[in-house]
Structure 1
Amino acid sequence: MATFARPTFSAKAYAAFRPAYPPSLFRTILSYHQVPTPGGTLLDLGCGHGPIARYLKPHFKSVIAIDPSAGMIAQARQTTTDPEITFRQGGAEDLDFLAEGSVDMAVSGQAAHWFDYTQAWPSLARVVRPGGTVAFWGYKDNVLVGAEQATRIMGQFVYGFGEVAPGVEGMGPYWEQPGRGILRDLLRGVQPPEADWTDVTRREHEPGEEGPEETRWLRKKMKLGEVEGYVQTFSAFNGWKEAHPQAKSRASGGEGDILDVMWDRMVDAVPEWKAMGERWREAEVVSDWGTYILTARRR
């Protein structure tokens, strides 16, 4: 998560282009938690710019939301008006500021792959009350449905090592590990300790496969320009830019960076997109992400 915590990372762009969580996801999580009326305290781990805290607040008396990134916390505070939502900088591994058994539910959206579980599980076991719950969820690599060749090209540029085009190094070396690998494995290696947690459930979806809405909860129609903006928020792309300061994007007056080259090839691979010329960003596509939901209840 070091990239998101850097002063150069744009929390505003992240908030603008990252996909929103659908109501179906929150219904699944709240159904598991079995909260009958608003009450208790929600802890949002890796809260980012605050969308989960704001969405779930009506179901809880108070929300405490933490994130390691000062920029994310600043963005969250700027866009949140509810005085019962408290934002503070911090990580899942250090919850000493919370009283024992003071949390009714702890959640984490698209952040749990960064946790050091040797510290996070003991911290959560201390602060989550008996009968309280945790819910972690996230999404990995998306596919562009019906545009398989373009999707393969995107994967080559995003995860490739060495040259992925003449003179262009892939983004593969710039993913922060082991976090990205844990996410791409849909958090299967993360096991809530049996001594503290029970009723463990997992819901998984591999990108491009069929399945119920409960597991395939992040699938949406997008314009290619929105997909372009989303890819620009990748931590690996930000790392790539820092390693290649001479490669300026066409939008900033340069000759092109890795994403410019990637999109050239992706557009060339789909005749309908290529026929649109400079208007290719207006083309619509269905984007389907791989997803997981991990839930557990405190003994």
Structure 2
Amino acid sequence: MSHTIPAPTLPLTEKTFSSYNKEQGSAYFKVRPDYHPTLYQFVVDQHTSTGGQFDTLVDVGCGPGLAARALGPRFASVIGLDPSEGMIETARSLGGVTSTSDPIRFERSSAEELGGVKDSSVDLITAANAAHWFDMEGFWPAAARVLKPGGTVALWTSGDIHAHPSMPNSAAIQATFETYQATHLEPYYVPGNRLTRATYRTLPLPWTLSQPVEEFEESSFVRKDWEADEPFFVGESQLSMDIFELAISSGSAQVRWHQAHPDLVGTERDLVKILRGEVERLLHEAGVEKGKEFVRGAVLGAVLIFKKKL
């Protein structure tokens, strides 16, 4: 007889993605592009610049496992952690292997607990577009506990949506994005959304907490801001309107708007449909033919690197 082991009860600071089931996790994966190899290489270069090793990687808030799978072949052991049962089920179904050909472990845990990770056992901790959902007062002590001396924490965010300057009518389209956010999504923003919009400039750091985590060195902190023409994601920077609509719909504030207005989802009164229509109108105004509309995005994100003292 088989027995189902109940999922652990976790303290959650994020209420949208953490409640996703496997179907929602799979849908999220389909519209979220992976990060560009140059971003991963930047993280690896920063890790090795101070003698970082490649024994164990822990990807926190791993979602469907993008970063864990991308960096996995460099590390002998890889663990992906996420509080969402649906995200973990999706990550497990997609798989991934380490440098020793062992499967990546995907487990359900909060960032504040880092459950199942041994003390002083981890070389690199990553959090890809996830740290804004953590309780940093809990995460930083947990990270200090599991990291080896000299280990690295790499956090990154893609920030807000921007129209690339090369896009037809880009200034007007950018103004439309900003109006859309300020007028319609503002009531659905939570503190995590505001952290991403500020590209983690207001993220609580180990030395800014009410009880500083002294294991991390402020002097070794590195921040890299991405420019408009630096690739942050893989794939085409030019999105079809259908993909643009799906991507916008996957944002947490937009998900909360949809949850609050289920009768409007997919109708002409859906905020995403309205935004798409306005962008298409501005493209037509600039001479783009009907049926050839596109959005070229500029990602002005950031990567933050922290080192644990030797």
The 1:276/1:11 distance shift into structure 2, 3 A limit, reads farther
Partner SS for 1:290: coil
The 1:203/1:38 distance shift into structure 2, 3 A limit, reads closer
Q: Return the alpha-carbon distance in structure 2 between the equivalents of residues 28 and 235 of structure 1.
A: 27
Taking the TM superposition and a 5 Å limit, the aligned residue runs for 1:1-299 are 1-7=14-20, 10-34=24-48, 39-82=54-97, 83-145=102-164, 146=167, 147-160=170-183, 170-175=184-189, 177-189=190-202, 190-193=204-207, 195-198=214-217, 199-205=220-226, 213=230, 217-218=232-233, 220-250=237-267, 255-271=268-284, 276-277=289-290, 279=291, 282-299=292-309
Q: Return the alpha-carbon distance in structure 2 between the equivalents of residues 237 and 159 of structure 1.
A: 13
Which shifted more, 31-40 or 288-297?
31-40
Task: Read off the aligned partner of 1:30 and give its amino acid letter.
Answer: V
The 1:17/1:159 distance shift into structure 2, 3 A limit, reads farther
Map Cα deviations across residues 17-48 of structure 1 (whole Å, 9 max, x no partner): 12320000011000011188984110000001
Partner SS for 2:33: coil
| Contact 2:159–2:300 (CA under 8 A) maintained in structure 1 | yes
| Contact 1:224–1:283 (CA under 8 A) maintained in structure 2 | yes
Q: Return the alpha-carbon distance in structure 1 between the equivalents of residues 242 and 77 of structure 2.
A: 37
Q: Return the alpha-carbon distance in structure 2 between the equivalents of residues 273 and 47 of structure 1.
A: 40
TM superposition score normalised by structure 2: 0.81
Task: Read off the aligned partner of 2:77 and give its amino acid letter.
Answer: S
Task: Read off the aligned partner of 1:118 and give its amino acid letter.
Answer: E
Task: Read off the aligned partner of 2:223 and give its amino acid letter.
Answer: R
Shift of 1:258: 1.5
Count of matched residue pairs: 276
Q: Return the alpha-carbon distance in structure 2 between the equivalents of residues 274 and 225 of structure 1.
A: 20
Map Cα deviations across residues 56-105 of structure 1 (whole Å, 9 max, x no partner): 11110010110111111111011115343100111110025322101111
| Contact 1:267–1:273 (CA under 8 A) maintained in structure 2 | no
| Contact 1:93–1:116 (CA under 8 A) maintained in structure 2 | yes
| Contact 2:53–2:123 (CA under 8 A) maintained in structure 1 | no
Task: Read off the aligned partner of 1:225 and give its amino acid letter.
Answer: D
| Contact 1:108–1:136 (CA under 8 A) maintained in structure 2 | yes
The 1:274/1:154 distance shift into structure 2, 3 A limit, reads farther
The 1:18/1:159 distance shift into structure 2, 3 A limit, reads farther
Aligned match of 2:210: none
Structure 1 gap segments, 5+ residues each: 161-169
Q: Return the alpha-carbon distance in structure 2 between the equivalents of residues 15 and 143 of structure 1.
A: 21
What's the % identity of the aligned pairs?
Answer: 30
What is the aligned-residue RMSD (CA, Å)? 2.4
Q: Return the alpha-carbon distance in structure 2 between the equivalents of residues 118 and 292 of structure 1.
A: 21
TM superposition score normalised by structure 1: 0.84
